Structure 1
Amino acid sequence: MFIYVSSLGQDSHRFVDEAGPAGTSERVLMLGGVAIPGAPALDGNSDADVILHAVANAVSGLTGVNILGSRADTLCRAGITDSVVYLQEAMSELGDWQLLHCSLSLEGCRPKLAPYIADIRRRLAELLGLEIRQIGLTATSGEALTAFGRGEGIQVFCTLSARRPDTTGPE
């Protein structure tokens, strides 16, 4: 017998070219662990991979252990800015949780992501220990209704479905 749970994670970052003096043009846009060439990077202490951050936050929703925040800040100070490491930290807290499905919704009018969606799904499947068919990723331009739709940054929502053995015993 299993307990089934869903968890929601969210993250957003503005583009470096909108961020002022904190940003540098040397950054690379990372989405779901995939480099997106020719696009402005996102601003943040880490590589600002907004997809991996949303997934890490959803994992934290399952485990109750926050990774983004003081734990990620400690990693950043140690020079570790790869968001894959942050996700791995979150995954290490899963215990007997088994991920079943990951669904992501991205809002941003740039860059156009259609050429990269398959690669992002493939990388996420690898990182989460899932099959590609268990990863859903949709992207919307936002129609200029929000800062993300106006091209100021990217926002991602992630829903994870997971299960773990029910150890409460019969009632």
Structure 2
Amino acid sequence: MKVKTGIGLDSHRFVEGESDRPFILGGLQFEDAPALAGNSDADVILHAVTDAISGVTGRTVIGAVADAMCKQGITDSKAYLAVALEDLAKMGGGAWQISHLSVAVECLRPKIDPKVPGLRASLASLLAIEVEDVCITATTGEGLNDCGRGLGMHVSAVLTVVRD
């Protein structure tokens, strides 16, 4: 068995003031926080997961590919994730399978723990893996940086793929 691991990171600030943008996290919409700023839906979890897949495939999606998609009006981060998953499916003749995803969220707000079951289910569905293979942890960062002071969110993702 061969194993590969990808690491992804992403950060976004919250939109200041009133906004019609929804707060999207892990492919789900929540009402208890302001939207995150970005040229896409700014789904910081999906961006980090997409980046982790890119760490396995070697083709960066969050960046030039996603920016080009945004210019075409494609702002749903699930579309960027789909591109990365297509790259993974093509790699090695499709023999690589996602084995595990670990996501660490740093933010003062919103509270992540109540959202974990829904986020795990959403990510498992998007990645076509079992819910028990998706783990999410959260920290406030103790106010040491902008995310810990409530100005935005930072996510780290570690994705493991295997091939027989």
- Which TM-score applies when normalising by structure 1? 0.90
Structure 1 counterpart SS, 2:62: coil
Structure 2 counterpart SS, 1:109: coil
Q: Does 1:86 align with 2:58?
A: no
Q: Does 1:70 align with 2:69?
A: no
1:58 corresponds, among 11, 29, 52, to 52
Name the larger-Rg structure: 1
Structure 1, unaligned stretches of length 5 or more?
A: 19-23, 166-171
Q: 1:126 is matched with which residue?
A: 125
Equivalent AA in structure 2 for residue 107 of structure 1: E
- Per-residue CA deviation, residues 44-100 of structure 1 (Å, 9 max, x unaligned), is 000000000000000000000111111111110111100000001100001332100
Size of the aligned set, in residue pairs, is 159
Q: 2:154 is matched with which residue?
A: 155
**Residues of 2 paired with 1:106 and 1:113: CA distance?**
8
Q: CA deviation at 1:113?
A: 1.8
Q: 1:33 is matched with which residue?
A: 27
Structure 2, unaligned stretches of length 5 or more?
A: none
Q: 1:168 is matched with which residue?
A: none
Equivalent AA in structure 2 for residue 92 of structure 1: E
Q: 1:47 is matched with which residue?
A: 41
Q: 2:99 is matched with which residue?
A: 100
**Residues of 2 paired with 1:35 and 1:163: CA distance?**
31
- Which TM-score applies when normalising by structure 2? 0.93
Q: 1:7 is matched with which residue?
A: 6
Q: 2:115 is matched with which residue?
A: 116
**Residues of 1 paired with 2:74 and 2:100: CA distance?**
28
Structure 2 counterpart SS, 1:154: strand
Structure 2 counterpart SS, 1:157: strand
Any runs of at least 4 consecutive aligned residues in structure 1 with deviations exceeding 4 A, and if so which? none
Equivalent AA in structure 1 for residue 105 of structure 2: L
Q: Does 1:144 align with 2:143?
A: yes
Identity %: 47
**Residues of 2 paired with 1:113 and 1:106: CA distance?**
8
Structure 2 counterpart SS, 1:92: helix
